[in-house]
Every structure is written in C-alpha cells, then in structure tokens.
Amino acid sequence: MPVPSAYEPAGTGYVRRSANRFSVRRWSVRHARLLEHLYGIFAGALVRLHWLWRAIGYHRVEKPMIPVERAIKGFMFDCRMCGECLLTSTGMSCPMNCPKGMRNGPCGGVRADGNCEVEPDMPCVWAEAWTGSRKMVNGDLINDVQKPVDHSIRGTSAWLRATSEAAAARESRGHEGQ
C-alpha cells in the first residue's frame, strides 16, 4: 500500500486543472464563428499556395508545418494531431478530447451539469461542440456522420491534407467545365 505524500505535482489539483486546462478550449468554442471565418481565410490562402506546396513537395512542406500546426491547434483546441481535423464541423471543439473517443456525438453519460462522466471536472466535448456549432455559419455540419479515425495518419498535417484535397476538387471542377 502506497504511503500518502504531501507532494502534489503542479497543475493537478482539481481547482487549478479546471481553471487552466479548459479555458482556451472553451474560449475557442465561445468564439466559434470568428474562428470559422479566420480558418476560411487561412484555408483559402493555403489552397492558393497549392502550386508552391506541390512544387516543393507536400512531404517536404509537412515537416516544418507539423510543429506549427501542433503548437497553434494544441494551444487553441487542445489538439491531438489526429490528422483528420473536424473543428469546422464540431463547433471548434475537438472530438479527440473525448476520453471515450466518441467521434459522432456524446456517449449518453453526460452529467446534468454538462460535464463528462469519465472526467467529472471536464466539460463534455460534445456539449461544447453543440454550443459552438450553433454560433457558426456552417454549424449544421455537426449533424454529418463522421467516419472512424484513421490512426495511420496520426501526427500528420490535417491542414496540408485538407489543402491538397480542396485543390484536387477545385482542379477536377475546372476540368469538368472544359
């Protein structure tokens, strides 16, 4: 039986964890419409630079892009770098933060106060997602059923993947008109 200790690592107490851990993530949900707009501008810029990414090579661009993406999305959304970002579909609340890994809505164990049944001091990711989605222009995307996470692309750049897919779709639309 372990001997009780007075030592408690910094940031692990209930009150400190509640106050700090979720504050930026919750700010992102409260400002989902603004972030949706900013992301649209950013994503558009990345797509316009597709010619450059393709010339350099997406695989070469990804190496410096990953730390930037991890830092920004990690700070803003507590991102887990799954490689398949759904923030614009989930009210700027990352579903990968769900302790049960629920990808298409809450588990049914949401507490009466809106917190998670597994981590009682954490707001339910999906309750937050619904709140954020109601503020977004394309908030109804939360109703789309998402495919399971492809774990083989974990740690890769979702930004570059989305850019490549959007550029390919744009190019295919351009070829259809010819």
- Rounded CA-CA distance 144/37 in Å is 20
pTM: 0.82
Residue 130 lies in a domain: yes
Provide the residue range defining the domain that includes 38: 16-176
- Rounded CA-CA distance 32/92 in Å is 6
Residue 2 lies in a domain: no
- Rounded CA-CA distance 125/135 in Å is 16
| Concatenated DSSP letters of 45-72 | HHHHTHHHHHHH-HHHHHHHHHHHHHHH
Residue 4 lies in a domain: no
CA angle 62, 63, 67 (to 5 degrees): 100
Number of domains within the chain: 1
Residue 6 lies in a domain: no
Upper half-sphere CA count for residue 115 (Cβ side, 13 Å):
9
Judged by average pLDDT, the poorest of 13-22, 40-49, 56-65, 107-116 is 13-22
Residue 7 lies in a domain: no
With bands split at pLDDT 50, 70 and 90, how would you rate the model's confidence at 15?
Answer: very low
* Residue 16 predicted with pLDDT over 50: no
Residue 52 lies in a domain: yes
Residue 60 lies in a domain: yes
pLDDT digits (tens, 9 = 90+) for 73-89: 999 999 999 999 999 99
Residue 166 lies in a domain: yes
Residue 73 neighbours by CB under 8 Å, 6+ apart = 79, 81, 85, 87, 94
